[in-house]
């Protein structure tokens, strides 16, 4: 099987062109052959009609059959021999030959042709037929009081056959030449048409993870290959973005994993440098190690959850529950953290709100939002939870009185490992200490066909809103 598209296109082009050329050539050749024989028939019929008119004229002019025929024979020899040199003509009446004109080579109409004409003209007048390499035309003329005359004209088909043979040879020679030229032209066209594909292939082949900023050249943005190149460029852009995210993820993950390990290792080394430590000193070191291990555990769990989320391996465990009760429970849990940081956690009055969703994931999402709100609120600040119903949707608002989010950081707050304020301590809270919390919260909202967005932010505080369907389906 031919693997090259260029060769296949050339073969298809040659095959289609050859088929078209063969069909059209056959039609033209047939038309030309037919026109040659029509021209021969026209000459023979014209000769017969001219001679019939001449005989009729001579008979009428001499006012008698016999003198008219005598005069016609004189005219036949003197005039029509020059007018129709290539045609042989025989004029008969019954079994009597009235006149005879040979062709330029002194050949006359065959006797059997004259006999056949008498029968054929009864069926068609004039009658045409071929025989013995000649073409014949017979015309019957009836004159009042003088009977019927039969004009039989004949001409050799040799010249016509020579013309047909020349035409046939021309087609047989011209068609292969045309096919060969079409093959060259088709190959050139295929090569020129596929040149952008080759360029695209070579460019894409040269792109690696180190030069994902390179793009496929677009020769013509309006054609199909231009659209293909644009599609490749958009794919490379997405790949570049994905690779950048992966590099950033790996760098941030390495940092987040290395920091607690380094702190725990340092605490261990410092504790072991002195041979005799008090129980309080050992307890303090173990508390440091325990805190770092807890932080390390949270980071690993969050990373594992996001990895499973990316692969679609986290199923939803749907159940019916009251969303207002879930928010009340999470608010109670957040108050424990708020008391340590002198931040009040308040819950607006909420009506009973039946919900059909994954209760565990929604609880985790709300706790992430509350955890961030408490951590980023100033001492003496307040965190407020509100729930609103809009037809078949629930809007969960979490509002804090923190310093707000800088404008340049707002598009990035849902990125993994992104932290708008790297100086703030992240040792407390249930999740999000590594900058993964909002990514997980947005993923949970998306899993429920909802969304999590930054609703408002200012120096007076920040409001996040999670919109969820009342019933997931």
Q: Name, in order, each residue with C-beta under 8 angstroms of 119's C-beta and a sequence gap of 6 or more.
A: none
- Which residue spans within 77-211 are E strands per DSSP? 88-93, 96-101, 127-131, 134-143, 147-156
Q: What is the CATH number of the domain that holds 35?
A: 3.30.450.20
CA pair distance 36, 115, nearest whole angstrom: 26
Quick one: 293 and 350 in the same domain?
no
pLDDT on residue 420: 65
Neighbour-count burial for 290-327, b at 16+ CB within 10 Å, e otherwise? ebbeebbebbeebbebbeebeeeebeeeeeebebbebb
Cis omega (within 30 of 0) on the bond before 99? no
Neighbour-count burial for 79-117, b at 16+ CB within 10 Å, e otherwise? ebeeebeebbbbbbbeeeebbebebeeeebbbeebbebb
CA pair distance 118, 120, nearest whole angstrom: 6
Question: Which tokens sit at 360?
Answer: 């565990």
Quick one: 260 and 288 in the same domain?
yes
Quick one: residue 337, left, alpha or beta (phi over 0 = left, psi -120 to 50 = alpha)?
Answer: alpha
CA pair distance 402, 460, nearest whole angstrom: 6
Q: Name, in order, each residue with C-beta under 8 angstroms of 468's C-beta and a sequence gap of 6 or more.
A: 355, 357, 362, 393, 394, 396, 445, 448, 450
Quick one: 40 and 88 in the same domain?
yes
Closest by CA position to 298, among listed 414, 428, 416: 428
Question: Which tokens sit at 380?
Answer: 């003496």
**What order do you get walking across the sheet with 382-390 strand by strand?**
344-347, 382-390, 393-400, 461-469, 451-458
pLDDT on residue 424: 38
pLDDT on residue 93: 87
pLDDT on residue 79: 63
CB-count burial class (<10 Å; 0-12, 13-18, 19+) for 472: middle
Whether the CB-CB separation of 20 and 109 falls below 8 Å is answered with: no
Quick one: 126 and 253 in the same domain?
no
Quick one: 45 and 134 in the same domain?
yes
Closest by CA position to 327, among listed 389, 386, 395: 386
Quick one: 285 and 345 in the same domain?
no
Q: What is the CATH number of the domain that holds 451?
A: 3.30.565.10
Quick one: 32 and 82 in the same domain?
yes
Question: Which tokens sit at 80?
Answer: 């029509």
CA pair distance 29, 31, nearest whole angstrom: 5
Quick one: 24 and 109 in the same domain?
yes
CB atoms within 10 A of CB 466: 23
CA atoms within 13 A on the CB side of 222: 0
* Helical H segments across 323-436, by residue range: 323-340, 359-376
Q: Is residue 206 part of a domain?
A: no
Q: What is the CATH number of the domain that holds 242?
A: 1.10.287.130
Q: Is residue 172 part of a domain?
A: no
Residue by residue, DSSP assigns 256-282 as HHHHHHHHHHHHHHHHHHSS---HHHH
Quick one: 287 and 336 in the same domain?
no
Domain boundary among 163, 185, 213: 163
CA pair distance 89, 397, nearest whole angstrom: 114
Domain boundary among 281, 310, 339: 310
Number of H helices, E strands in the chain: 10, 12
Domains in the chain: how many in total?
3
Kindly compute the dihedral angle of the four CA atoms of residues 363, 473, 384, 377, in this order, to the nearest 10 degrees: 60
Quick one: 288 and 333 in the same domain?
no
Domain boundary among 310, 340, 375: 310
β-pair type (318-322, 344-347): unpaired
Whether the CB-CB separation of 472 and 356 falls below 8 Å is answered with: yes
CB atoms within 10 A of CB 190: 20
Q: Is residue 293 part of a domain?
A: yes
CA pair distance 247, 413, nearest whole angstrom: 18
Q: Is residue 189 part of a domain?
A: no
CA pair distance 284, 270, nearest whole angstrom: 12
Domain extent, residue 461, equals: 318-469
Whether the CB-CB separation of 140 and 150 falls below 8 Å is answered with: yes
Rounded to 10 deg, the angle between the 437-447 and 359-376 helix axes is 150
Instruction: Give, rounded to a whole angstrom, the gap between the first and last alpha carbons of the chain.
Output: 51
Q: What is the DSSP letter of 412?
A: G
CA pair distance 59, 279, nearest whole angstrom: 157
Quick one: 359 and 268 in the same domain?
no
pLDDT on residue 426: 37
Q: Is residue 77 part of a domain?
A: yes
Residue by residue, DSSP assigns 119-143 as HHTTTSSSEEEEETTEEEEEEEEEE
Q: Is residue 130 part of a domain?
A: yes
* pLDDT in 10s for each residue of the chain, 473 residues: 667 777 888 888 888 888 998 898 889 989 998 898 899 989 888 888 888 888 888 888 887 788 887 888 877 776 666 677 888 888 888 888 888 888 877 788 888 888 888 888 888 888 888 888 899 999 888 888 788 889 899 998 888 889 889 988 988 898 889 888 888 888 888 888 878 888 888 888 888 878 888 888 887 888 888 888 888 888 888 888 878 777 777 776 776 777 788 888 888 888 888 888 888 888 888 988 888 888 888 878 877 887 777 777 788 889 999 999 999 999 999 998 899 899 999 999 888 999 999 999 999 999 999 999 999 898 999 999 999 998 889 999 999 999 999 998 898 888 877 776 543 333 333 344 567 889 889 999 999 999 999 999 999 899 999 999 988 76
CA pair distance 242, 249, nearest whole angstrom: 10
Q: Is residue 209 part of a domain?
A: no
Closest by CA position to 455, among listed 467, 469, 443, 437: 467
Quick one: 323 and 306 in the same domain?
no
Q: Is residue 84 part of a domain?
A: yes
């Amino acid at each position: 099987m031919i693997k090259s598209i260029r060769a296949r296109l050339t073969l298809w082009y040659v095959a289609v062109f050859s088929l078209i050329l063969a069909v059209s050539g056959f039609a033209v050749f047939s038309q030309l052959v037919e026109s040659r024989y029509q021209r021969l028939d026209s000459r023979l019929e014209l000769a017969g009609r001219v001679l019939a008119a001449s005989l009729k004229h001579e008979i009428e002019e001499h006012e008698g059959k016999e003198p008219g025929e005598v005069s016609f024979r004189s005219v036949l020899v003197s005039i029509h021999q020059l007018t129709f040199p290539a045609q042989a003509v025989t004029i008969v009446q019954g079994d009597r030959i009235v006149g005879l004109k040979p062709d330029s080579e002194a050949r006359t109409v065959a006797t059997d042709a004259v006999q056949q004409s008498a029968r054929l003209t009864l069926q068609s007048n004039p009658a045409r037929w071929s025989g013995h390499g000649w073409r014949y035309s017979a015309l019957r003329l009836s004159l009042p009081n003088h009977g019927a005359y039969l004009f039989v004209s004949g001409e050799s088909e040799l010249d016509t056959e020579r013309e047909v043979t020349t035409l046939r040879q021309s087609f047989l020679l011209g068609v292969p030449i045309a096919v060969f030229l079409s093959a060259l032209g088709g190959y050139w066209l295929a090569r020129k048409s596929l040149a952008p594909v080759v360029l695209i292939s070579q460019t894409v082949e040269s792109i690696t993870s180190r030069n994902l900023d390179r793009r496929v050249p677009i020769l013509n943005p309006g054609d199909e290959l231009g659209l293909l190149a644009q599609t490749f460029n958009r794919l490379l852009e997405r790949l570049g973005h994905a690779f950048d995210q992966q590099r950033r993820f790996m760098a941030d993950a390495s940092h987040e994993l290395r920091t607690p390990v380094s702190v725990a290792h340092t605490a261990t080394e410092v504790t072991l440098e002195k041979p005799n430590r008090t129980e309080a000193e050992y307890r303090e070191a173990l508390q440091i190690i325990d805190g770092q291990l807890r932080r390390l555990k949270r980071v690993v769990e969050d990373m594992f959850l996001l990895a499973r989320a990316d692969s679609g391996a986290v199923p939803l465990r749907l159940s019916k529950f009251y969303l207002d009760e879930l928010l009340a429970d999470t608010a109670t849990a957040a108050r424990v953290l708020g008391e340590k940081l002198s931040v009040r956690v308040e819950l607006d009055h909420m009506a009973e709100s039946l919900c059909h969703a994954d209760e565990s994931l929604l609880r985790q999402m709300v706790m992430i939002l509350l955890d961030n709100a408490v951590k980023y609120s100033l001492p003496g600040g307040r965190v407020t939870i509100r729930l609103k119903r809009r037809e078949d949707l629930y809007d969960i608002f979490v509002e804090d009185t923190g310093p707000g989010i800088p404008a340049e950081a707002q598009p990035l707050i849902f990125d993994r490992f992104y932290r708008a304020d790297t100086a703030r301590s992240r040792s407390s809270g249930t999740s999000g200490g590594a900058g993964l919390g909002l990514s997980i919260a947005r993923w949970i909202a998306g899993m429920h066909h909802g969304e999590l967005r930054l609703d408002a932010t200012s120096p007076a505080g920040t409001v996040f809103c999670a919109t969820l369907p009342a019933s997931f389906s």
